[in-house]
């Protein structure tokens, strides 16, 4: 089917895009990638501007599936800010592929009906596809003359060259460079996926390769890269010669159901960290919804609260691996929060605190509780309400007095608990029942500190070396959860009873309470008192 026939059928739409909005969207997406290397906040600002540009551009896009895909890609780009710069770059590359696909389809449809009105769109296409000098002039000349088949051929050839270069740069290894190159290849193939010259190549094959890379399946990735390179080479061979002036575009065919365009890349940092997203059709409504959702990108504080709640539950029984995964979700949700929350005082500090907790060893429930208090303060600040100084202080303290510093401090204090007990026993011996009671009471009072130091240290080593049995010993500390509070109360009650009994007995021996014992009353006949002999 020729491009003229496609235009007559109205496929892809024949209206012109808002090029100013298109350029603004492109500049801000590319600018977000550049800004992310130095400042996540600056990248967020660029993504906000990109969203405004997309809102302006969307009404002029005829393919509503592409509009949906672009919106999803922007949302995923926001979520990627909580991970790595490479993840953001990959999301932007796929968003840019969708943009070029929309511009390519809509411009060719416009040229088919009114070639004299498409000069501005053709100039943008030339810039987007990297055509300069004579190549750009030839593209413009073919477009003005209504030679749609040669116009499409020049653009497709440029896109396929970029797909081929990106695939050659990708390696069957789980690293950031391969991930970005594969995402770039996917974005460029998106533009020309409907060409008959693509042969058996489909967007789903690129998506499969991305999934294999993120899963660390290098054997399958090697096979996929070989298949993609061979298919791209055949595609390039089909475009080696310019088409004859027959009025038929080389390889352009009616989009068919099942043609897929990825809207977001796998959300991973490094690539193996989490699962990838599925692809979404853009030429026809999708038959199914994505099977594997991306990591949580909930908007607003509710998503952050939910993730922090899961992290708190996990730390409450020493499941620190799950806690760190939940903290990663919290960082993602916070990065995708509404503008009002992101502009509130303390947003950057909270994001930094969540990221710090995610990489911290020996996580404890108090670490996550401090983050929840910080989020509550951020919410109140965004709403113009007073914030809690206590919650703010908790966030600050948890950033330094946590992890291994906390572990070592309490381990040292646990070791020191035996010193006063030893000295007390050395000074007064163990035959006086009252001193023994006082010694027992002091031991019970210090027992929570001893348990915190000993089992906190063993649990930290378990977390460090991945030994679950050691890590679970953290649950024997009395600061781990509410279940320990009754035990703490019983220890305290026993300690109070023993020390009260011991000191009361000593007071009786001194004659301060009740009837003093004879050995103590006749103090004028004794120059010293043997506490070991008095019972």
Q: Which of 4-13, 146-155, 446-455 is least confident?
A: 4-13
> What per-residue confidence (pLDDT) applies to 384?
85
Indicate if the pLDDT at residue 501 is higher than 60.
yes
Mean pLDDT for 230-252 is: 73
> What per-residue confidence (pLDDT) applies to 245?
57
Indicate if the pLDDT at residue 295 is higher than 70.
no
Indicate if the pLDDT at residue 11 is higher than 60.
no
DSSP letter at 524 equals G
- Per the CB < 8 A criterion, the answer to whether 459 and 471 are in contact is yes
- Per the CB < 8 A criterion, the answer to whether 336 and 297 are in contact is yes
> What per-residue confidence (pLDDT) applies to 300?
56
Q: Tens digits of per-residue pLDDT, 429-475?
A: 778 899 999 999 999 999 999 999 999 999 999 999 989 899 999 99
C-alpha pair distances (Å), 405 with each of 92, 116, 454:
40, 71, 14
C-alpha–C-alpha distance, residues 183 and 268, integer Å = 12
Q: Tens digits of per-residue pLDDT, 46-80?
A: 998 999 999 999 999 988 889 988 988 888 888 88
C-alpha–C-alpha distance, residues 513 and 225, integer Å = 90
Q: Which of 146-160, 296-310, 319-333, 452-466 is least confident?
A: 296-310
First-to-last CA distance in the chain?
Answer: 111
Q: Which of 3-17, 254-268, 344-358 is least confident?
A: 254-268
Mean pLDDT for 122-131 is: 89
C-alpha pair distances (Å), 92 with each of 23, 173, 184, 256:
14, 22, 9, 26
User: Structure tokens of 387?
Assistant: 């914030």
Please name the helix (run of DSSP H) or strand (run of DSSP E) that holds residue 281, with its range, or none.
Answer: strand 280-281
Indicate if the pLDDT at residue 265 is higher than 50.
no
> What per-residue confidence (pLDDT) applies to 83?
76
Mean pLDDT for 299-322 is: 86
C-alpha–C-alpha distance, residues 36 and 88, integer Å = 8
Indicate if the pLDDT at residue 111 is higher than 70.
yes
Per the DSSP assignment, residues forming a β-bridge with 280 are: 261
Indicate if the pLDDT at residue 215 is higher than 60.
yes
> What per-residue confidence (pLDDT) applies to 116?
77
Mean pLDDT for 381-386 is: 87
Indicate if the pLDDT at residue 520 is higher than 50.
no
**Which residue bears the tokens 């965004």?**
382
C-alpha pair distances (Å), 363 with each of 180, 315, 446:
32, 7, 23
Indicate if the pLDDT at residue 337 is higher than 70.
yes
Mean pLDDT for 2-8 is: 36
Indicate if the pLDDT at residue 284 is higher than 50.
no
Per the DSSP assignment, residues forming a β-bridge with 195 are: 252
User: Structure tokens of 436?
Assistant: 């023994």
Confidence band of 262 (pLDDT split at 50, 70, 90)? very low
User: Structure tokens of 187?
Assistant: 């974005």
The three-class DSSP label of residue 532 is coil
The mean pLDDT of the chain is 80
Confidence band of 259 (pLDDT split at 50, 70, 90)? very low
> What are the backbone angles phi and psi of residue 74, rounded to the nearest 5°?
-65, -40
- Per the CB < 8 A criterion, the answer to whether 334 and 372 are in contact is no
Indicate if the pLDDT at residue 268 is higher than 50.
no
Q: Tens digits of per-residue pLDDT, 389-423?
A: 999 999 999 999 999 999 999 999 999 999 999 99
> What per-residue confidence (pLDDT) applies to 294?
33
Mean pLDDT for 346-355 is: 87
> What per-residue confidence (pLDDT) applies to 290?
31
Q: Which ranges constitute the DSSP H helices of 343-432?
A: 347-358, 365-382, 389-400, 403-416, 418-428
- pTM reported for the whole predicted model: 0.50
The three-class DSSP label of residue 267 is coil
> What per-residue confidence (pLDDT) applies to 159?
92
Listing DSSP states for 125-183 in one string gives HHHHTT--HHHHHHHHHHHHTT-HHHHHHHHHHHHHHHHHHHHHH--SSSSHHHHHHHH
> What per-residue confidence (pLDDT) applies to 15?
55
Mean pLDDT for 116-143 is: 87
């Amino acid at each position: 089917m020729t491009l003229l026939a496609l235009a007559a059928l109205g496929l892809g739409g024949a209206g012109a895009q808002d090029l100013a909005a298109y350029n603004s969207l492109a500049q801000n997406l590319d600018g977000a990638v550049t800004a992310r290397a130095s400042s996540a906040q600056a990248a967020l600002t660029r993504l906000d501007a990109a969203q405004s540009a997309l809102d302006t551009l969307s009404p002029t896009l005829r393919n509503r599936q592409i509009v949906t895909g672009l919106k999803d890609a922007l949302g995923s780009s926001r979520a990627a800010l909580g991970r790595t710069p490479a993840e953001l770059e990959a999301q932007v590359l796929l968003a840019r592929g969708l943009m070029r696909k929309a511009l390519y389809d809509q411009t060719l449809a416009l040229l088919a009906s009114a070639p004299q009105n498409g000069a501005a769109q053709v100039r943008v296409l030339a810039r987007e596809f990297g055509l300069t000098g004579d190549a750009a002039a030839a593209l413009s000349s073919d477009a003005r003359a209504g030679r749609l088949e040669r116009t499409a051929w020049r653009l497709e050839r440029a896109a396929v060259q970029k797909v081929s270069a990106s695939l050659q740069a990708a390696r069957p290894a789980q690293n950031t460079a391969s991930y970005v190159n594969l995402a770039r290849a996917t974005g460029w193939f998106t533009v020309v996926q409907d060409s008959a010259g693509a042969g058996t190549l489909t967007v789903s094959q690129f998506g499969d390769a991305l999934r294999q890379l993120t899963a660390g399946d290098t054997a399958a990735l090697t096979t996929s890269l070989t298949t993609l390179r061979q298919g791209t080479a055949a595609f390039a061979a089909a475009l080696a010669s310019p088409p004859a002036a027959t009025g038929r575009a080389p390889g352009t065919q009616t989009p068919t159901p099942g043609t897929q365009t990825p809207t977001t890349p796998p959300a991973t940092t490094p690539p193996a960290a989490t699962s990838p997203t599925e692809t979404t059709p853009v030429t026809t409504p999708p038959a199914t919804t994505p099977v594997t959702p991306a990591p949580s990108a909930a908007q607003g504080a509710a998503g952050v609260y939910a993730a922090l709640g899961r992290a708190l539950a996990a730390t409450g029984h020493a499941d620190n691996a799950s806690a760190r995964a939940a903290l990663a979700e919290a960082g993602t949700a916070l990065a995708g929060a509404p503008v009002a929350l992101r502009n509130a005082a303390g947003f950057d500090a909270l994001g930094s605190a969540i990221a710090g907790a995610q990489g911290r060893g020996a996580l404890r429930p108090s670490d996550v509780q401090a983050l929840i208090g910080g989020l509550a303060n951020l919410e109140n600040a965004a709403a113009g309400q007073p914030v809690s100084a206590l919650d703010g202080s908790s966030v600050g303290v948890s950033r330094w007095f946590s992890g291994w510093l906390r572990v070592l401090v309490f381990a040292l204090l646990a070791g020191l608990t035996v010193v006063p007990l030893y000295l007390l026993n050395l000074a007064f011996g163990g035959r006086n029942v009252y001193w023994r009671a006082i010694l027992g009471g002091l031991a019970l009072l210090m027992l929570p500190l001893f348990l915190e130091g000993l089992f906190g240290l063993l649990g930290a080593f378990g977390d460090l070396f991945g030994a679950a049995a050691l890590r679970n010993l953290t649950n024997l500390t009395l600061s781990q959860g509410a279940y320990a509070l009754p035990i703490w109360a019983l220890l305290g009650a026993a300690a109070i009873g023993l020390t009260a009994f011991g000191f009361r007995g000593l007071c009786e021996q001194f004659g301060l309470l009740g009837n003093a014992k004879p050995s103590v009353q006749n103090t004028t006949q004794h120059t010293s008192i043997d506490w070991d002999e008095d019972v």
